[in-house]
Amino acid sequence: NCTVSTCPIITSYYNYRIALAPNALFLAFLIFLFTWRHTRLTGLYFFLAMEVGIIFEVLGYAGRVMSWKDQWGQNGFIMQFVCLTIAPAFFSAGIYLCLGRIVVVYSEKHSRLPAGWYTRIFIPCDIVSMVLQGIGGGIASVAIQNNGPLEFLTTGDNVMIAGLATQVFTMFVFMSLCVDFGLRVRWSRSKNLPTTTSIPGTKTSSSKAIWSTKVEKSWLFKSFLIALAIATVCVFWRSVFRVIELNAGWMGSLTFKQNLFVGFEGVLMVITVLVLTIFHPGFCMGEAMSGRLGG
């Protein structure tokens, strides 16, 4: 029966008074981006990954708005905790889908892996991360709702940390391969070697080589590469911070710093969705994102 006016705020789930403005702003902006993305349906799997991620973000911030009304209520707290923890895993899945398509544009000869193997390796790792985070969040949620022993809450916390750590490690390997691929392409350019080659498929070899060169030189494609790099860093940064936050425990100091939450969750995730909506890969890469050209 506690309210802000009757109980000390430190006895609530958050230990600070939730600021309504940034949470309502993030909620409204993410709903807008979710709607806007429906005008760009190219690339089904990328579309689904990003849309599901946004849905989890929207549910998470809806939970925080609910908690602003009642900071002692369990439903809002559990919604924001679970949904905002899992959402970035869907964004990373969308990001993983793009690298194989980029390899198609520049040619597989510069890549350590065949184009198709990027999704075959990184998407399953991302699914494992999602499952662990979901299981951990479920255990923690049940413990909170049933006022279970601290051991159950700690177990849920540890499983979520394992899922997040898997996500961080997977993204680190992914970023390392991206950097390696970029350096190998630049090396080829410095030696005046062609960066694009023909790929067997629906188009003739010569037309594919011409198409790849055209895409590579377009400002939209170059802008997309920058947007993808920004989104990758944002998701990685968010995941690393979440691991550090949860590793400190439910009563850790980072858990109760609202400014860090706003900066390292809301701002980073909105930037991720925004840049990948403005520079949508289906819009910037065309047929390459559909998978009809390989990858």
Q: Can you say whether the dihedral through the CA atoms of 143, 149, 153, 156 is positive or negative? A: negative
Establish if 10 belongs to a structural domain.
Answer: no
Give yes or no for residue 25 having a pLDDT over 80: yes
The kind and range of the H/E element at 259 are: helix 258-261
Structural domain boundaries enclosing 216 = 17-190+210-250+257-290
Establish if 4 belongs to a structural domain.
Answer: no
Establish if 199 belongs to a structural domain.
Answer: no
Establish if 3 belongs to a structural domain.
Answer: no
Tokens of 105: 């544009």
Give yes or no for residue 198 having a pLDDT over 70: no
Give yes or no for residue 285 having a pLDDT over 80: no
Give yes or no for residue 243 having a pLDDT over 80: yes
Q: Say if residue 148 is exposed, middle or buried (CB neighbours under 10 Å; 0-12, 13-18, 19+).
A: middle
Q: Are 125 and 170 in contact (CB under 8 A)?
A: yes
Tokens of 193: 């070697």
Higher pLDDT, 25 or 222: 25
Q: Are 54 and 37 in contact (CB under 8 A)?
A: yes
Q: Smallest Cα–Cα separation from 292: which of 6, 48, 43, 109? A: 43
> pLDDT tens-digit profile of 150-187?
778 888 889 999 999 999 999 999 999 999 998 988 88
Q: Are 86 and 56 in contact (CB under 8 A)?
A: yes
Give yes or no for residue 199 having a pLDDT over 50: no
Q: Are 211 and 203 in contact (CB under 8 A)?
A: yes
**φ/ψ bin of 8: left (φ > 0), alpha (ψ from -120 to 50), beta (otherwise):** beta
How many domains does the chain fold into?
1
Higher pLDDT, 136 or 205: 136
Least confident of 40-44, 53-57, 135-139, 203-207: 203-207
Establish if 204 belongs to a structural domain.
Answer: no
Segment 95-114 shows an average pLDDT of 86
> pLDDT tens-digit profile of 261-281?
999 999 999 999 999 988 888
CATH of residue 75 = 1.20.1070
pLDDT at residue 197, as a whole number: 47
Establish if 119 belongs to a structural domain.
Answer: yes
Query: What percent of the chain shows pLDDT beyond 70?
Result: 84
pLDDT at residue 216, as a whole number: 62
CA distance 217 to 261: 39
The kind and range of the H/E element at 5 are: none
Half-sphere exposure of 278 (CA within 13 A, CB side): 13
Q: Of the ranges 10-14, 111-115, 267-271, 285-289, which is most confident? A: 267-271
Cβ neighbours around 181 below 10 Å, total = 19
> pLDDT tens-digit profile of 29-38?
999 988 887 7
Q: Smallest Cα–Cα separation from 140: which of 87, 79, 88? A: 79
**φ/ψ bin of 277: left (φ > 0), alpha (ψ from -120 to 50), beta (otherwise):** alpha
Half-sphere exposure of 99 (CA within 13 A, CB side): 31
Establish if 97 belongs to a structural domain.
Answer: yes
pLDDT at residue 186, as a whole number: 83
Establish if 218 belongs to a structural domain.
Answer: yes
Give yes or no for residue 210 having a pLDDT over 50: no
Mean pLDDT of the residues in the chain: 84
CA distance 142 to 279: 40
